[in-house]
Structure 1
Amino acid sequence: MSIEVANDANAYLGMKTLDTPNSNNYVEYDGNGHLTIDVGEHDDFDGPDTQPGEGVNSDSFTWFDGMFQLCNQGKAEANISYELPDPPAERDIPGNWTAPGDGYDEQVVGFYYISEGGDDPGEEGDRIFVPEGDSVPLPVGECREMGVRTVTKGVDATTDAPLIDGDVVVTADSPAAGAPNGTDPS
């Protein structure tokens, strides 16, 4: 048996930076080749000659288009899902990551892709939010440009703690990957 380990960009589920303003400013690889996202305080902001920001606005929805790309570099279709870490203890966020503001049942942090029309939900160009635990099919050889959305309705901006801090687990489930010709064995 031989099993290789690859960095995020070269793995069967490729996680790649993009040449977009958001990816260039907030996404990079760590020393182990893992994709990292940091939309906190930056002193190296690649933008206009102004004071850099320190995070997302309170009481708002923030969409970061074009953060990274997920690519199915395996041998069969995969269903992609993710799991968030526990909310920071200093934050008033329930364990299910729901915004604490009255009337909001929106997930505080999550990922989305842009609809390409056809079999995708919504109209071409729509942002399609993927709730934690839901999965999205990714055909072999195809990529999805991913974005990050935050909802800070009712989140206290004066609390000195990040909105999210920890590892997000991305899972690619591909039952057909080990089957002959990539057919589903069930």
Structure 2
Amino acid sequence: MSIEVATDANAYLGMVPMDTPNGNNYVDTDGNGHLYIDVGEHDDFEGPDAEPGEGVNSDSFTWFDGMFQLCNQGKAEADISYELPAPPEDRDIGGNWTAPADGYDEQVVGFYYISEGGDDPGDEGDRIFVAEGDTVPLAVGECREIGVRTVTKGVDATNGSPLIDGEVVITADSPEAGEPAGD
């Protein structure tokens, strides 16, 4: 048996920052080639009126389109899902990731892809939110534009700690990848 470790861009499930304003400002790779996202405090924006950002607005829905591409570089279709880390102790929102304000049951942090029409839900260009634990099929050679959505309805903005801090686990389940060719 031989198992190799690849950087995120070259793995069977490739993750590459997009060359977009959001991808360039909030997504990067570490020294091992692993993708990370940081929409916290930034002071590296350029321009005459550039002010440092300190995170997402309170009492809002914020959509970060074009953060990274997720590509199936394996040998068979894969069902992609994700799992969020536990909320930081001082950000524990009732033991889960749901916004605490009345009438808002949306996940505080989550991912979405952009519909390409055809078999995708919605119209071409629509944002298709993927809840934690839901799966999205990704055909061999297919890539998806992935964005991040935050919901801060009822979340205390004076707390000072991040909404999410830790590793998000992205899983590609591909039972057919291990089947021998033929038959």
TM-score range, shorter chain: over 0.9
Amino acid at match of 1:116: E
In structure 2, what is the equivalent of residue 98 of structure 1?
98
The runs of 4+ residues in structure 1 deviating greater than 4 Å are: none
Question: Can you list the C-alpha shifts for 1:76-111, whole angstroms capped at 9, x where unaligned?
Answer: 000000000001111141333100111110000000
User: Structure 1 residue 144 and structure 2 residue 138: aligned?
Assistant: no
User: Structure 1 residue 167 and structure 2 residue 167: aligned?
Assistant: yes
Equivalent runs, 1:109-148 vs 2, <5 Å: 109-148=109-148
Equivalent runs, 1:1-186 vs 2, <5 Å: 1-46=1-46, 49-181=49-181
Instruction: Output the CA distance in 1 between the equivalents of 2:127 and 2:93.
Output: 24
Report the CA distance shift for 1:142/1:103 in structure 2 as closer, same or farther (over 3 A): same
Instruction: Output the CA distance in 1 between the equivalents of 2:57 and 2:134.
Output: 27
Instruction: Output the CA distance in 1 between the equivalents of 2:136 and 2:48.
Output: 36
TM-score, with structure 1 as normaliser: 0.95
Question: Can you list the C-alpha shifts for 1:91-146, whole angstroms capped at 9, x where unaligned?
Answer: 14133310011111000000000111110001111100000000000000010000
Shift of 1:48: 5.6
Amino acid at match of 1:125: G
Question: Can you list the C-alpha shifts for 1:35-80, whole angstroms capped at 9, x where unaligned?
Answer: 0000000121256632111000000000000000000000000000
**Aligned-CA RMSD value:** 1.4
- Aligned identity (percent) is 83
**Matched-pair contact (CA < 8 Å) for 1:75–1:182:** no
User: Number of matched residues?
Assistant: 183
TM-score, with structure 2 as normaliser: 0.96
Stretch deviating more after TM superposition (105-114 or 89-98):
89-98
Stretch deviating more after TM superposition (44-53 or 5-14):
44-53
Shift of 1:32: 1.4
Instruction: Output the CA distance in 2 between the equivalents of 1:135 and 1:48.
Output: 43
**Matched-pair contact (CA < 8 Å) for 1:114–1:128:** yes
Instruction: Output the CA distance in 2 between the equivalents of 1:133 and 1:33.
Output: 25
Q: Mark the runs of 5 or more structure 2 residues left unpaired by the alignment.
A: none
Q: Mark the runs of 5 or more structure 1 residues left unpaired by the alignment.
A: none
Instruction: Output the CA distance in 2 between the equivalents of 1:9 and 1:34.
Output: 8
Report the CA distance shift for 1:132/1:97 in structure 2 as closer, same or farther (over 3 A): same
